[in-house]
Amino acid sequence: MKTLLRWSLWLWIALCIVGAFLYAPLAEGFVGQSSRILFFHVPMAWCSFVAFITAGVHAIRYLARRDPAQDRAAEAAVQLGLLFCVLATVTGAIWARVMWGAYWNWDPRQASIVIVLVFYAAYLVLRDAIEDPSTRARLASVYAVLGLVVSPFFFFVLPRIVEFTLHPDSVINQRGSVDMESRMLQVLLAATVGFTALFFWLHRLQIRISTLRMHRESEELVS
Amino acid sequence: MWWFRQVRAVFVKDWRTELRTRHALHTIALFAVSTLLTVSLALGPAGVSAETRTSTLPVILWIILLFAAAAGLPRCFVAEEEGHTAAALRLTAAPSAVFAGKCAFAVALLVGLELLLTPLFLALMGLEIADAAMLVTALVLGALGLGTASVLVAAMVAQARGRGALFPVLSFPLLIPLLLLAVELTRGAVAGSLPPGVAEQLLLYDASLIVAGLMLFPVIWNP
């Protein structure tokens, strides 16, 4: 059953890649083939969002129940979230070079993703600096929750500093409508589903790795 | 009443030990003044040109305050751990009272620093203030948030390795919204006009940090 699921995930993502290049049409008003980055950049940004929410939920659960497994799940989610976040930032910057002429121009989206990157990198640095496992889990969870408290302020603050954004509309924009050619939308939604499944699969693998590593370390201590 | 007596006791104790060694006082004051002198000297006799003065100088003021806080405030918990007085403090006072007392101490220290630094800054940089009440609002609300966040992070850092370097890494991502809002408010005080809602948002940021701190500090403080 697991093997079947894994193979169908691989097939699904392969189909998304093929669909992104052959099935979906190009969007109007974009340089060359650059609009195809949509099918990879948006799911990556979405996945990092899902990952950090997952990490926050596990951190709160850890603080409520003090179950070390929850803390390992939060750490794994942050690691993967950072990976997807870096990928989204880099693909976004490359696309910005093609479309806007500069890799970086402090567009509100670029500003917010960089602040998120710095915050969760600090979370991992904090973990590295504490040796005792229960202290590490406790303080890292507190820091993750503090991040959830502070982050809403960026929604007020950043748009005022740079009033305009060149970033294309979100799929669901402020008008509440979906302005996208239907084949593009199909591929985008399929890719988003595929990437989300990929994230949860990687998340489970990462938790298994850290659990095994912990068991090995405790066995080494005993022997 | 009992709680307020504890808060006052922690506050008075911190000031008493501080006035005996004057470690944080001297570090913060000298750091801020020497940074200000360096910046002013490097800018030269002409200073910043009149057109860019309103937008750049408030940034310099708040960067100096932020770095001065990072240089002096981590001491307040590291000293408790190193002097082995943390256990006594845990036994005698409620965690929320320790948090409130330490915050009151940090905020008082920062307000004292601002009383020293701001007039010097305005004189050296030749900055005219159009709305003095708004400047005071920015400084007081900024000190409140900066002190609260510093106390929370300092309590975490005191339990980790590499304490000195870890403090800025952890606190700066949390303080980005505060810094942006305080800079905006200070710019408003210089220009005499302000986009609506900035002071309210800064107040909201401070309030949510204080509430989050009261809830999370007991978790940080009690092993």
pLDDT tens per residue, range B52-105: 888 899 999 999 999 999 988 888 888 888 888 888 888 888 999 999 999 999
The CA radius of gyration of chain A, in Å to the nearest whole number, is 20
DSSP state of A172: B
- At A172 the pLDDT is 47
Q: At what angle do helices A108-128 and B163-191 cross, to 10 degrees?
A: 150
Any domain includes A6: no
- At B83 the pLDDT is 81
Inter-chain residue contact B161 with A135, CB threshold 8 Å: no
Query: Chain B closest CA to A11's CA: distance in Å?
Result: 40
The residue in chain A having the minimum alpha-carbon distance to the alpha carbon of residue B184 is A161
Inter-chain residue contact B170 with A143, CB threshold 8 Å: yes
Place of tokens 């190009």: A26
Residue A177 pLDDT > 60, yes or no? Answer: no
Query: Chain B closest CA to A196's CA: distance in Å?
Result: 27
Inter-chain residue contact B160 with A139, CB threshold 8 Å: yes
Query: Chain B closest CA to A151's CA: distance in Å?
Result: 8
- At B159 the pLDDT is 87
Tell which wins on pLDDT, B129 or A83: A83
The count of other CB atoms within 10 Å of the CB of residue B34 is: 11
Any domain includes A202: yes
Range B179-204 average pLDDT: 89
- At B144 the pLDDT is 96
Residue A171 pLDDT > 60, yes or no? Answer: no
Question: What average pLDDT does chain A have?
Answer: 87
Any domain includes A177: no
pLDDT in tens, A7-40: 999 999 999 999 888 888 887 777 778 888 888 9
Domain enclosing residue A194, as ranges: 35-161+183-216
**Is B190 exposed, middle or buried (CB count within 10 Å of its CB: 0-12, 13-18, 19+)?**
buried
* Residues on chain A touching B173 (C-beta within 8 angstroms): 115, 118-119, 122, 147
* Residues on chain A touching B162 (C-beta within 8 angstroms): 129
- At A140 the pLDDT is 95
- At A181 the pLDDT is 78
Indicate the residue of A139, A150, A161 with minimum beta-carbon distance to B156.
A139
Contact with chain A for residue B212, Cβ under 8 A: yes
The residue in chain A having the minimum alpha-carbon distance to the alpha carbon of residue B200 is A156
Q: How far is CA B90 from CA A49, B95, B96, B158, B212, in A?
A: 38, 7, 11, 14, 20
- At B30 the pLDDT is 92
Inter-chain residue contact B212 with A147, CB threshold 8 Å: no
DSSP state of A169: P
Range B30-36 average pLDDT: 93
Query: Chain A closest CA to B79's CA: distance in Å?
Result: 18
Lowest mean pLDDT among A61-75, B124-138, B151-165: B151-165
Contact with chain B for residue A125, Cβ under 8 A: yes
- Whether A147 and A55 have beta carbons less than 8 Å apart is answered as no
Q: By percentage, how much of chain A surpasses pLDDT 90?
A: 52
* Residues on chain A touching B208 (C-beta within 8 angstroms): 149-150
> What are residue A172's phi and psi, to 5 degrees?
-100, 105
Any domain includes A72: yes
CA distance B186 to B63: 13
Inter-chain residue contact B159 with A139, CB threshold 8 Å: yes
Query: Chain A closest CA to B20's CA: distance in Å?
Result: 31
Tell which wins on pLDDT, A222 or B118: B118
Contact with chain B for residue A126, Cβ under 8 A: yes
Q: How far is CA B46 from CA A56, A107, B33, B127, in A?
A: 50, 33, 20, 12
- Whether A126 and A135 have beta carbons less than 8 Å apart is answered as no
**Pure H helices in chain B:** 2-21, 23-43, 50-72, 75-82, 86-92, 95-125, 132-157, 163-191, 198-221
Residue A80 pLDDT > 90, yes or no? Answer: yes
Q: By percentage, how much of chain A surpasses pLDDT 70?
A: 91
- At A73 the pLDDT is 95
Contact with chain A for residue B146, Cβ under 8 A: no
Any domain includes A75: yes
Residue B182 pLDDT > 60, yes or no? Answer: yes
Tell which wins on pLDDT, B195 or A129: A129
Instruction: Please report, to the nearest 10 degrees, the dihedral formed by the alpha carbons of residues A44, A46, A47, A53 taken in order.
Output: 150
- At A170 the pLDDT is 56
Any domain includes A196: yes
Any domain includes A172: no
Query: Chain B closest CA to A66's CA: distance in Å?
Result: 11
Inter-chain residue contact B177 with A154, CB threshold 8 Å: yes
Q: Which of A178, A200, A189 is nearest to A38 (CA)?
A: A189
Lowest mean pLDDT among A58-62, A169-173, B174-178: A169-173
- At B205 the pLDDT is 94
Range A210-223 average pLDDT: 87
> What are residue B108's phi and psi, to 5 degrees?
-60, -40
Confidence tier at A217 by pLDDT (50, 70, 90) = confident
Please report the sign of the dihedral spanned by the C-alpha atoms of residue B217, residue B220, residue B221, residue B223: positive
Range B161-180 average pLDDT: 87
ipTM: 0.88
> What are residue A102's phi and psi, to 5 degrees?
-145, 145
The number of C-beta contacts closer than 8 angstroms across A and B is: 77
DSSP state of A31: S
Inter-chain residue contact A160 with B152, CB threshold 8 Å: no
- DSSP structure string for B108-145: HHHHHHHHHHHHHHHHHHTPPPS-HHHHHHHHHHHHHH
Residue type, A108: P
Inter-chain residue contact B220 with A139, CB threshold 8 Å: yes
Any domain includes A19: no
Contact with chain B for residue A163, Cβ under 8 A: no
Contact with chain B for residue A131, Cβ under 8 A: yes
Top residue of A117, A136, A146 to mutate, by most chain B CBs within 10 Å, is: A146
pLDDT in tens, B112-155: 999 999 999 999 888 888 889 999 999 999 999 999 999 999 99
Query: Chain B closest CA to A34's CA: distance in Å?
Result: 32
Query: Chain A closest CA to B116's CA: distance in Å?
Result: 29
- Whether B38 and B106 have beta carbons less than 8 Å apart is answered as no
Total domains in chain A come to: 1
- At A70 the pLDDT is 94
The residue in chain B having the minimum alpha-carbon distance to the alpha carbon of residue A147 is B174
Inter-chain residue contact B160 with A129, CB threshold 8 Å: yes
